[in-house]
Structure 1
């Protein structure tokens, strides 16, 4: 699978090139177009993703996020897992798995579903972003505080903790509202340049 992007960073579109039999998971509402012969399987439960599979001769799939912004192919090499914003995944190849439950997220969010999910494997995980993607590169032991509403992705080398900004105001671990995310390097924290929600 190869990913090419266009119309970035304001109105990104991702073209996913698939070899014969390759499959990718995406939400059907984000499919702009695809080559003839690409098949769809699985039923979308409400707003869930389905699987698109290329025919023997291969094919392509063009995906456009619902909101204006960038599309970003995050390359997973198999050595590190990544935490990504729950609503940011535009396309997931079969070689990238969603790790649930993930112990670090269980300690971060308790028994609830948080604003992050963990992925691992190899290949291009295509993310949709609100605004262009920016990055905060942290040296070992370097600390930064990030607004969770802007977090896009970070690798397992980055250690994080959540804290309340003001106990008198509403907080949500499902969205990150009212919380701060403290991150310690080494690693790169990718952020949206426009907040979620």
Structure 2
């Protein structure tokens, strides 16, 4: 599976090139177009994702997000996972899995469902962002603070701390309201130029 992007960073579209029998999972409404013969599966639950499978000769699928912005293929090589903003995933291959009960997120958010998901595996995870993607490459010991609405993703190798901006103000681990994330290098942190909140 290969991913080519076009019309970025304002109105990104991801072309997912599939080999024979390869598949990509995405929301049904993300499908812009596909080569003839690509077969969509019925979603397991109403509003759930659809799996688009290429025929014996291979094919392609064009995926477009609902909102304007960038699309960004994040390559997973199997050596580490990434924490990704909850609504940022546009599509993923079978080789990239969502880890629902990732221990680091449980310690970050406690027992509540937070504004991040964890993914691991091998292949390209296609991300949808509300603005151009910027990468902060942190040196060892370098610290940067990011507001949750701008965060796209960060790898397991980066240290992170979630804190209240104003301890007396309103806060929500579900939306990120009133919170900030401190990241310590080495590693990369992906942010988007427009907030989702």
What's the TM-score bracket when you normalise by the shorter of the two chains? over 0.9
Where does residue 23 of structure 2 map in the other structure? 23
Check 1:171–1:46 CA distance in 2 against 1; reply closer, same or farther (3 A cut).
Answer: farther
Q: Shift of the alpha carbon at 1:167?
A: 2.9
* Stretch deviating more after TM superposition (171-180 or 39-48): 39-48
Q: Shift of the alpha carbon at 1:168?
A: 3.3
Where does residue 135 of structure 1 map in the other structure? 135
Extract unaligned runs of 5+ from structure 1: none
Where does residue 103 of structure 2 map in the other structure? 103
Q: Shift of the alpha carbon at 1:73?
A: 0.3
Where does residue 49 of structure 1 map in the other structure? 49
User: How many angstroms apart in 2 are the aligned matches of 1:133 and 1:39?
Assistant: 31
User: How many residues matched?
Assistant: 197
Where does residue 167 of structure 1 map in the other structure? 167
C-alpha distance after superposition, 1:58-97 (max 9, x if no partner): 1110011001000000011111111111100001100111
Query: RMSD of aligned C-alpha atoms?
Result: 1.1
Where does residue 191 of structure 1 map in the other structure? 191
Q: Shift of the alpha carbon at 1:48?
A: 2.6
Query: Does the residue aligned with 2:107 lie in a helix, a strand or coil?
Result: helix
TM-score, length of structure 2 as denominator length: 0.97
TM-score, length of structure 1 as denominator length: 0.97
Where does residue 177 of structure 1 map in the other structure? 177
User: How many angstroms apart in 1 are the aligned matches of 2:2 and 2:160?
Assistant: 31
Runs of 4+ in 1 over 6 A off after TM superposition: none
Where does residue 120 of structure 1 map in the other structure? 120
Extract unaligned runs of 5+ from structure 2: none
User: How many angstroms apart in 2 are the aligned matches of 1:180 and 1:9?
Assistant: 25
User: How many angstroms apart in 2 are the aligned matches of 1:103 and 1:61?
Assistant: 34
Query: Does the residue aligned with 1:190 lie in a helix, a strand or coil?
Result: strand
Q: Shift of the alpha carbon at 1:47?
A: 3.5
Check 1:161–1:47 CA distance in 2 against 1; reply closer, same or farther (3 A cut).
Answer: farther
Where does residue 12 of structure 1 map in the other structure? 12
Q: Shift of the alpha carbon at 1:45?
A: 3.4
Query: Does the residue aligned with 2:130 lie in a helix, a strand or coil?
Result: coil
User: How many angstroms apart in 2 are the aligned matches of 1:50 and 1:172?
Assistant: 31
Q: Shift of the alpha carbon at 1:17?
A: 0.4
User: How many angstroms apart in 1 are the aligned matches of 2:65 and 2:47?
Assistant: 14
* Stretch deviating more after TM superposition (43-52 or 169-178): 43-52
